[in-house]
Amino acid sequence: MSTFGFLAPQDLWDARSEMFFSQVLAGVEDEVAPHGHTVVTLAAQSPAEEMAIYRRWAEDGAVRAVVLRDLREGDPRPALLDELGLGYVLLGDVTQRGEEAAVLVDNAAAMRAVLAELRSLGHERIAHLGGPADLLHSRLRRAAFLADVQEAAAGAGLTAEGDYSEESGAAALARLLSRDPRPTAVVCDNDAMAIGALEAAPALGVRVPEQLSIIGWEDSMSCQLHEPPVAVLGHSLRLTGSLVGRALQALVDEPPRRSRILRPVPVILPRGTLGAVRGTLGAARG
């Protein structure tokens, strides 16, 4: 039987986005536990510590394969894992082509689906609150957002960048609302930033969803339990984890197989932070 490794940056384990990892991890365990496999989870303080953990796992043979996510430009981790002979399943985007085992989503298609839904509700002034620009999936979503806005002739794309924390979501919303005219909807790259923006909105003089719709990217428990519940893309995080677990299982089968699995494109789950356009935001502070 095998042990699989699941690492995440320390700051993400500390934030409400921990819920993302918890649900994905539960799905992984759903798939691998019946086969007698186990999953070890650790929080890495830095990319250097993450790679040191991989070296230790490979040296002592404690882990057969790991989950790899949040690739950056020139990311050294895939080459290191290949060098160590440590298998991995990439949780990434359809544009990340290769022969490695992977569970992939089409971030560009997901962004287009969100924008189409928002426009059907009358939103024309839509903003994108993205994650760190060095993350490939953040760049892909931003590029898809800007291309869609240009194609729709909806003016210059309103964008802001955060670091996946609630604090950065609140700060980014303040910057976006300083624009004239203000956005009527904000699409956020993760749930923690969406919640940060939502909780900052009253102090910024904006009513959600009457004057501003806020959409998160994953369907974390923190969004489901928030009051009001946060509209999100309908990712089934537990299903995502199950697909990752299936790919991990294939890596340790005899003979081993490298599965590349495509997740379906999610649609908006219309909860309490999503509404149709009822007026302008020009007088929101009055």
Average pLDDT, the chain: 88
Residue pLDDT, tens place only, 154-163: 666 899 999 9
Residue pLDDT, tens place only, 32-74: 999 999 999 888 888 889 999 999 999 999 899 999 988 888 8
Angle at 228 between CA 225 and CA 232, to 5 degrees: 70
Domains in the chain, ordered, with CATH?
3-106+235-265 (3.40.50.2300), 107-233 (3.40.50.2300)
Quickly count: other Cβ atoms within 10 Å of residue 143's Cβ. 13
pLDDT of amino acid 237: 82
pLDDT of amino acid 198: 97
Amino acid letter, 40? V
Split at pLDDT 50, 70, 90, the class of 263 is confident
Residue pLDDT, tens place only, 65-80: 999 988 888 899 999 9
Check: pTM over 0.95? Answer yes or no.
no
Mean pLDDT of 108-132: 94
